Chain A
Amino acid sequence: MNAVTLQNISKSYQDVKAVRDVSFEVKKGELFGLIGADGAGKTSIFRILTTVLLADKGTATVAGFDVVKDYKAIRDRIGYMPGKFSLYQDLTIRENLEFFAAIFGTTIDENYELIKDIYDQIKPFSDRRAGKLSGGMKQKLALCCALIHKPEVLLLDEPTTGVDVVSRKEFWAMLKSLQEKGITILVSTPYMDEANLCERIALIQNGRIMSVDTPENIIKSFPVKLYAAKSDAIYKLLKDFRAAPVVDSCYAFGEFLHVTMKGNRETGSSELRDLAIERGHTHVVVQEITPGIEDSFIRLMNEKTEVSAHQ
């Protein structure tokens, strides 16, 4: 059974087409990632699924209920953490939690098991006002409040944006353990490296879904060979490769450049190495590598741009 379905959902704000004909499903118990940059349409999708925004076209269901007809049933069954911190700043941690428990007709004790691991980390500060908390603590409190009524589906809109690497790792560990307790999770992120932590992902850009699959399959479908290259003068190497007719794409990736070539070449590595040496580069390293999600995302983005340019 599907916990979330979207069928041909579109939404525009005046001239801006925020969501264009989006369809995908999240299975029950799945940890599903919506991966894309700011302005890609992620938040509009969340607002439609949480029944606070009406789509212009298409249908959607959450926990088996229609987002328009059965919006009240959905609101009882979901936990929502918006991208912007939306708890009461002048209530304490404990007061916020009690408030959210009360409006969903439950108590903190009733579902304490579910939030225990997360709540324990902020409990020492339970009398502190939410407005005075650090970013990481706010994030944990917001997650507790979204969980307090034991939702079937958890909708998290960019929970890790602006958060440092350490807190991000902790947060994803929490999501995994919630998933193990049977909660379906739809989470959005602009960080491509977090895609690998999801079971399935949808890559979204300019309101359109570019691909929906497991991270492994998306990587497998990368259509050409990918090379990593570096030399002592990495920025010059980038420019030299981009100027070379045999090179199809070249992007900086950490300490390496990631390069694809035109046509199907067996000798790509040595061709690139020769090219670099010919241009006077020293300590040249070129090797064939397995692409990552970010490589796939960039490739899909460029393909879409080309398609729309030809229309």
Chain B
Amino acid sequence: MEDNKAIVCKDLTKQFGDFYAVNKISFEVLKGEIFGFLGANGAGKTTAMRILCGLSFPSSGTATVAGFDVYKQQEKIKKSIGYMSQKFSLYENLTVLENIEFYGGVYGVSRKEIKTRSEELVQTLGLESEAKKLVGALPLGWKQKLAFSVAIFHKPQIVFLDEPTGGVDPVTRRQFWDMIYEAAATGITIFVTTHYMDEAEYCNRISVMVDGKVEALDSPANLKKEFNADSMDEVFYQLARGAKRSGD
């Protein structure tokens, strides 16, 4: 496998009965890249992401994540990646520090390192006065920033972000992207889904899934040229309006 690839998929397929949730998708994500994984509801994004995170086996095709095989090396994949989603990321009944300690511990970061780095992290996030408060009491924007920091606390090679900015106010949404850029600059590969088309523009490259297939894959600028569109919103609309499936 080539060294500069964080993810390589070839004809990756997931079949439930006669339904092809993911239908022969092929793409590569470069190391350190911010890769936007877009698609309409029900296009198959979540299913594909579950395979890439080592949570579900494909029906056919091949894929490696951080150099590990999605069939045989799921546990190694899990150790090499970070994950956060809008829906669940942190334990609301643990404090800020406890959440960091818990995730650090799960991913095998040493106690000593957890202690020093969690103090640093709390400081960087400006959460000093909230460090011993329950996460449930934090505003959503803070939760999401903390969840992202926790997801990359063990310095994974790749972080998967599933609609990380849903429902967040416009200023916090941008602060969140600042954090994504910072992380990418340290060499972490970012794999992100979003419904905000302006955020698609912040990615180096994006793919658009329609009905289980990857129908477009390029930089935002090239896609706009290809589809003769002013915005990614228009590109997405042109691709997705013909979709036959819709789902959650």
Contacts and interface: CB of A to CB of B under 8 A. Distances in A.
> Of residues B166, B195, B232, which shows the largest number of chain A Cβ atoms within 10 Å of its Cβ?
B195
A251 B169 contact: no
B164 to A, nearest CB: 13
A39 B174 contact: no
Given A38-B140, A167-B41, A254-B231, A162 B166 contact: yes
B170 A165 contact: no
Contacts of A166: 40, 236-237, 240-241, 243
Interface residues of A, number: 33
Interface stretch (A24-32, A55-63, A129-137, A217-225): A129-137
A252 B246 contact: no
A39 B181 CA distance: 26
A82 B140 CA distance: 20
Given A164-B40, A254-B232, A135 B167 contact: no
B40 A135 contact: no
Contacts of A294: 170
Contact of B169 (A36, A134, A137): A36
B167 A298 contact: no
Nearest to B195: A164
Contacts of A38: 140, 167-168
A147 to B, nearest CB: 21
Interface string B215-248: 0000011000000000111001100110101111
Interface residues of B, number: 39
B174 A134 contact: no
A44 interface: no
A104 to B, nearest CB: 29
A136 B220 contact: no
Contacts of A302: 171
B236 A137 contact: no
A193 to B, nearest CB: 8
Given A134-B42, A135-B248, A162-B163, A37 B168 contact: yes
A254 B233 CA distance: 10
Nearest to B86: A162
Interface stretch (B4-12, B19-27, B104-112, B196-204): B196-204
B103 interface: no
A253 interface: yes
Given A161-B166, A166-B237, A251 B174 contact: yes
Nearest to B224: A255
A229 interface: no
Interface in A224-262: 235, 251-255
Contact of A301 (B41, B170, B195): B170
B247 A37 contact: no
A161 to B, nearest CB: 6
Contact of B246 (A36, A167, A255, A298): A167
A297 interface: yes
B39 to A, nearest CB: 8
A244 to B, nearest CB: 17
B236 A298 contact: no
B141 interface: yes
B56 interface: no
B241 to A, nearest CB: 5
Nearest to B177: A252
Contacts of B197: 165, 254
B198 A135 contact: no
B221 to A, nearest CB: 7
B89 to A, nearest CB: 14
Interface of B: 39-42, 139-141, 163, 166-172, 174, 177, 181, 185, 195-198, 201-202, 220-221, 231-233, 236-237, 240-241, 243, 245-248
17 contacts: A36-B169, A37-B170, A134-B42, A134-B245, A162-B41, A162-B163, A162-B166, A164-B39, A165-B236, A165-B237, A165-B240, A190-B167, A190-B168, A190-B169, A191-B196, A193-B233, A255-B201
7 closest cross-chain pairs (CB), A and B: A37-B169, A38-B167, A254-B201, A254-B198, A134-B247, A164-B40, A136-B246
Given A254-B232, A301-B171, 4 more contacts: A39-B139, A167-B40, A298-B170, A301-B170
